[in-house]
């Protein structure tokens, strides 16, 4: 009869409270409390990301940013997105309410400008946690 190879024995787990080098490898990296977003910041960021979760609004932000002086009249934004002026104004209002754009009324027309500080905070929140 052929010899059966020996089955290696599985090592028993160490007693509670003791650690081995394998335990360190199985463990998650520690959380840096300075990079964790608190509940209030998470609500604000979620509202801003929700405002940007529409392709038309992303295009509008891009169009405003592309203007030479960093601001655009609503009349300049209607044709490029192919929507009616009231619909474009509705999308712009959502972006203003989220703090992504500012709005200034000049006579009959409203002019919109990017809030770069808000966009910088959104980008920083994705890359490193809450903005400092």
What pLDDT score does 3 carry? 63
pLDDT-derived band at 71, boundaries 50, 70, 90: very high
Residues 37, 61, 97, CA angle at the centre, nearest 5°? 60
Domains and CATH numbers, the chain: 37-127 (1.10.10.10)
Q: What are phi and psi of 106, to 5 degrees?
A: -130, 100
The closest alpha carbon to 65, from 27, 106, 91, 102, belongs to 102
Rounded CA-CA distance 83/52 in Å is 17
The model's pLDDT over 72-130, given as tens digits with 9 standing for 90+, comes to 999 999 999 999 999 999 999 999 999 999 999 999 999 999 999 998 888 888 776 55
Tokens coding 4:
């059966």
Whether this prediction's pTM lies above 0.75 is answered by no
């Amino acid at each position: 009869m052929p010899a059966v190879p020996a089955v290696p024995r599985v090592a028993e787990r160490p007693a509670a409270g003791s650690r081995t080098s394998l335990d360190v490898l199985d463990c998650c990296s520690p959380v840096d409390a300075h990079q964790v977003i608190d509940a209030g910041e998470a609500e604000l960021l979620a509202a801003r990301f929700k405002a940007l979760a529409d392709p038309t609004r992303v295009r509008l932000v891009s169009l405003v940013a592309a203007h030479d002086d960093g601001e655009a009249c609503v009349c300049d934004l209607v044709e490029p997105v192919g929507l009616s002026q009231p619909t474009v104004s509705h999308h712009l209002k959502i972006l203003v309410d989220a703090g992504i754009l500012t709005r200034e009324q000049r006579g009959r027309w409203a002019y919109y400008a990017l809030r770069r500080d808000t966009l910088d905070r959104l980008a920083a929140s994705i890359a490193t946690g809450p903005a400092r």
